Structure formats: C-alpha cells, structure tokens
Amino acid sequence: MSTTKIGLLSLTALVFSSMVGSGVFSLPQNMASVSNGQALLIAWLITGIGILFLAFALLYLTRQRPDLDGGIYNYAREGFGELIGFCSAWGYWLCTTIGIVGYVVIAFSGVGMFTDRPDHVYFGEGNTIYALIGSSIFVWMVHWLVSRGIKEASLVNLIATIAKIVPIVIFIVFTFLAFKLDLFKLNYFDFSLQMPVWEQVRNLMLITLWVFTGIEGAVVLSSRARNRNDIGRATVLGVLLALSFYVLVTVLSYGVTSRIEIANMHNPSMATILEQLIGLPGTIIITLGLIISVSSSYLSWTLFATEIPFLAAKNKAFPKVFLKTNQNNVPIASLWLTSVVVQISLIAVCFFDKNYTQLLLISSVMILLPYFLVSAFYLKESWKNKRTKHIWIALIAVIYASWLLYAAGISLLLLSGCLYLVGLSIFLYSRYTNKREVCNNL
C-alpha cells in the first residue's frame, strides 16, 4: 500500500482540487467588488498567460532536472542556496497551512447556511464554538486518512474532485442560458468605481493568484508519481481546466445581473446568482458543492503541507525529526506538525473572531516568493543551457511573478517579511544541531 505510486488522473485531480477550493464559489462577488467587465477580462488575460507560463516552467523543469523532487523547495535550494531554499519551503508550508485553516472555516460557514436561524447562530462564519468542535473533528479525521497512505488519500481526493465539478457545471449551464449581452456591455463600461482600469486590474491580481495557488501540487508530490512525465502533464491539464471554469463563472455572471448587485451579494455569491435563476435549489446545490470542494481541497493541501518539511529535512534545512515516516511511508512528524498548527489556528480563529478573507490574504502573500524562485530557477537553467525557447518562457513567468509581488503592495510584503524572519530561527536551529551532530561523530 505504501509503495504504490500516483497516476496521471489522480495527479491532475490533486492539482485541480488544490486550486479549485472555496475561491471559485465567491469569485463573482470578489471580482465585482473591485472591477468592471473591462478590467475583469484584462485581468484574466494577464493571469491566463502568466499562470500558463508558470505551469510550463514547472513542466519543463521536471524534464530538465529529473534529479530534483519536491519542486518548490529543491528548485530554490539548487538555484540559490540553502537559505533561499529554506525560505521557499517555509513560505510554502505557511501558505498551505494557513490556507487549509481557511478551508475548514469556510466549510463550516457553508454548513451554517443550512442550520443557522436568525434567533440562534450555530456555525456563523465558521468561527463559533460549534464550528470549532466540528472543524476539529474534521481535521483529525483527515489526519487519520492521510496517515493511512498518500496513494489512498489521493484516490479519495479524486472521487471528491469529480463531485465538486458537478455544481460548477450546473452554474455555468444556467448562467449561459440566462446570459444577456446588453447587460454584460453595461457592466463592461461600468465606471461607478471611479478608479482607473489598471488599478482595478492590480486589485484583482491577488484574487486571481489565490484561486491558482496549488498549481505546483504534482511537482510537490513528484517523488510519488508513477510516471515522471505525468508530473508536467498533470500541472498543465489542471491549470487549463481550472482557468476555463474561473473565466466562465465570472464572465457569465456579469451577463446575468449588474456588477453593483453582484458586489453587494453575500458569499458564496454563486449560490445567490443561481438562486435568482432557479430558486432555492440553486443555493442548496452551490452550498453543498462548496462544502465538498473545500473538504477535498483541504485533503490535497494537507498532502502538500506534509511533504514539504520532510523534503526540507532531507537537506538539513528543517530539524531531522521531520524525516520520520510511519509504516505507510507517510512523513508522520510533518503530518502531526501540520495538524497541530491547524488545530491551534482554528482555536485562534474562534476566540479572536477572525474570518476566511483574512486567512486568504496571508496565505496568498506567502506563496509569492516560492513562485518567483521557481520562475527564476527555470530562467537560470535555460540561460545556462542556452535554450532560446525556454529562456523566453522563463522570462514571461518571471515577469508575471514580479507583477504579483508589485500587486501585493508594501503592507502585505512587510507582513510576509516578518513571517520569514520567524522561520529563520528554525533554519539556524537546524543548521546548528546538524553541525553539532557531525562534530560529535568525528
């Protein structure tokens, strides 16, 4: 069981599932609150090109450097040294861990749509005591499932991924049938935000980045792939499928109702839009889809968060305790670290009354450096090998990653800098203990 490898279909499902989580169900409102139709299309054009070239960077790196497993960490370490490699691993682990806390919070917020009443709130925005109890049970159930084996968890994820696609397809079909070109044109030329188009596009960048976070999933689990060529294929296939869904969901929404009305909707806004078209079943379909979606995405991201400390510990960037695996070949110490941190974070969310949006923002900014380093390493490798086609692909990926850093803004970059400084103490401790162990063995 523990030695079974993951095939192309399961790898693609992991990439798709990690990207298509909760974000898609709130995309119409999130985008309508900061952009008109014109900025929306420009943002998707930039994001589509940028994210595809980032996917190509991952695709070609798996072929150029088959000796490097775990992509996000090992590419940065190989290209820019041990410290930069650690920063990439630390930033990525924080992104995944904070992100999956957000998934659990919004999942129980969705449950609250079925259980909460005006006179009694049980789950609220996923930050009540009832939500804490339910989410804690869920976290440790997933912990048990992952501990049974990476392959087994990926099969469960594949089934859940198929289930999450159904409500999104239903939404696309009904909004397509209700689409009005004249209404879309009104939203396209809506200047009520009184903001330049390029500023609107900039404001959309972190939203579009968040919904594509997870593009690297197949690369992170590359050591567990049945066929190495499947890693790149799964990445590109997952991105193309997710990009198609995102564009259709948002663009079709702008042809069903006004931008201002969408911007004022309660999330998940897809539920509100579909309810306007087919009544109460619309809310039920989307809310159930949301719960299934974030649950499967939580599973995907737990797999990624479990793998990264294990890979970093192999190169002595993380403490060697994270090298420990169980009888199913699962990095059990990494899994325990992730589950315990998620549990503590859920307690903090409950008692400090935080919500999903704040978690999403922190998670998004922590992935910026790892994505930039992957693109930069691809450029470095292509330049060294004098491969003109690959140099151009890498340049576009680097430009896109740099644009994301600019779009994040100074306050979020400063926050990420503080979190990276916290991680530096772990790196120094790991280097110290490993050096001391070498000295004792002499």
User: Is residue 3 scored above 60 in pLDDT?
Assistant: no
Question: 3-state SS of the chain?
Answer: CCCCCECHHHHHHHHHHHHCCCHHHHHHHHHHCCCCHHHHHHHHHHHHHHHHHHHHHHHHHHHHCCCCCCCHHHHHHHHHCHHHHHHHHHHHHHHHHHHHHHHHHHHHHHHHHHHCECCECCCCCCCCHHHHHHHHHHHHHHHHHHHCCHHHHHHHHHHHHHHHHHHHHHHHHHHHHHCCHHHHHHHHCCCCCCCCHHHHHHHHHHHHHHHHCCCCHHHHCHHHECCCHHHHHHHHHHHHHHHHHHHHHHHHHCCCCCHHHHHCCCCCHHHHHHHHHHCHHHHHHHHHHHHHHHHHHHHHHHHHHHHHHHHHHHCCCCCHHHHCCCCCCCCHHHHHHHHHHHHHHHHHHHHCCCCHHHHHHHHHHHCHHHHHHHHHHHHHHHHHCCCHHHHHHHHHHHHHHHHHHHHHCHHHHHHHHHHHHHHHHHHHHHHHHHHHHHHHHC
Kindly report which listed range (119-128, 236-245, 272-281) carries the lowest average pLDDT score. Answer: 119-128
Dihedral of alpha carbons 243, 246, 249, 252, sign: negative
What does pLDDT average to over the chain?
81
Q: Is the pLDDT of residue 42 over 90?
A: yes
Among residues 266, 257, 260, 267, the alpha carbon closest in space to that of 193 is found at 260
- Section 377-392 average pLDDT: 88
Q: What is the mean pLDDT of residues 61-87?
A: 79
pLDDT (average), residues 382-393? 87
What is the pLDDT at residue 349?
A: 78
What's CA 32's distance to the chain center, in Å?
A: 21
Q: Is the pLDDT of residue 389 over 80?
A: yes
Q: Say yes or no to pLDDT of 218 above 70.
A: no
Higher pLDDT, 240 or 216: 240
Q: How confident is the model at residue 177 (pLDDT cuts 50, 70, 90)?
A: very high
Only one residue has tokens 């990095």, namely 331
* pLDDT classification of 38: cutoffs 50, 70, 90: very high
Does pLDDT of 430 surpass 70?
yes
State mean pLDDT over 318-344.
86
* pLDDT 10s digits, 344-360: 888 887 777 655 556 66
Greatest mean pLDDT range, 86-100, 181-195, 281-295: 181-195
pLDDT of res. 156: 63
Tell me the average pLDDT across 191-214.
Answer: 82
- Mean pLDDT, to the nearest integer, of 44-71? 80
Is the model's pLDDT at 176 over the cut of 80? yes
Distance of CA 352 to the CA centre of its chain: 24
Q: Cα(134)–Cα(81) distance, rounded to whole angstroms?
A: 42
Q: Please give the pLDDT value at position 353.
A: 61
Q: How many whole angstroms separate alpha carbon 91 and alpha carbon 363? A: 9
Phi, psi of 194 (to 5 degrees): 50, 50
Q: Report residue 228's pLDDT band, with 50, 70 and 90 as the boundaries.
A: low
pLDDT number for residue 184: 93
- Position 152 confidence tier, pLDDT thresholds 50, 70, 90: low
In this structure, of 49-53, 62-66, 194-198, the range with the lowest mean pLDDT score is 62-66
Tokens representing residue 394 in the block: 């890498």
Q: Which of 45-54, 312-321, 325-334, 419-428 has the lowest mean pLDDT?
A: 312-321
Residues 6+ apart with CB under 8 A from 182: none
- b/e map of 396-414 (b: 16 or more CB within 10 Å)? bbbebbebbbebbeeebee
Q: Are 239 and 14 in contact (CB under 8 A)?
A: no
Q: Is the pLDDT of residue 311 over 60?
A: yes
Whole-number Å distance between alpha carbons of 325 and 335? 10
Cβ(368)–Cβ(404) below 8 Å: yes
Query: Exposure of 353 by Cβ count < 10 A (0-12 exposed, 13-18 middle, 19+ buried)?
Result: exposed
Q: What is the C-alpha separation between 62 and 68, in angstroms, rounded?
A: 8
When pLDDT is averaged across residues 401-412 and rounded to a whole number, the result is 81
* 77 DSSP β-pair partners: none
Is pLDDT at 262 greater than 70 in this prediction? yes
136's CB contacts (< 8 A; 6+ apart) are 343, 346
Percent of the chain with pLDDT over 70: 86
Cα 105 to Cα 16: distance, rounded to the nearest angstrom:
21
Average of per-residue pLDDT across 234-255: 89
Rounded mean pLDDT of 164-192?
A: 91
Return the pLDDT at 2.
42
Is 150 or 37 the better-scoring residue by pLDDT? 37
| Overall average pLDDT of the 149-155 stretch | 58
Report d(CA 42, CA 230) in Å as an integer: 31
Stretch 5-21: mean pLDDT: 73
**Max CA separation in the chain (angstroms):** 78
Q: What is the pLDDT of residue 222?
A: 56
Give the CA distances from residue 269 to residues 263, 399, 431, in Å, rounded to whole numbers and listed in that order: 9, 32, 48
What value, to the nearest 5°, has the Cα angle with vertex 407 and ends 43 and 72? 95
pLDDT at 403: 84
pLDDT at 1: 36
pLDDT tens-digit map of 95-150: 878 777 877 877 787 777 777 777 777 777 777 888 889 889 989 988 888 887 75
Q: Name the token pair of 438.
A: 């070498």
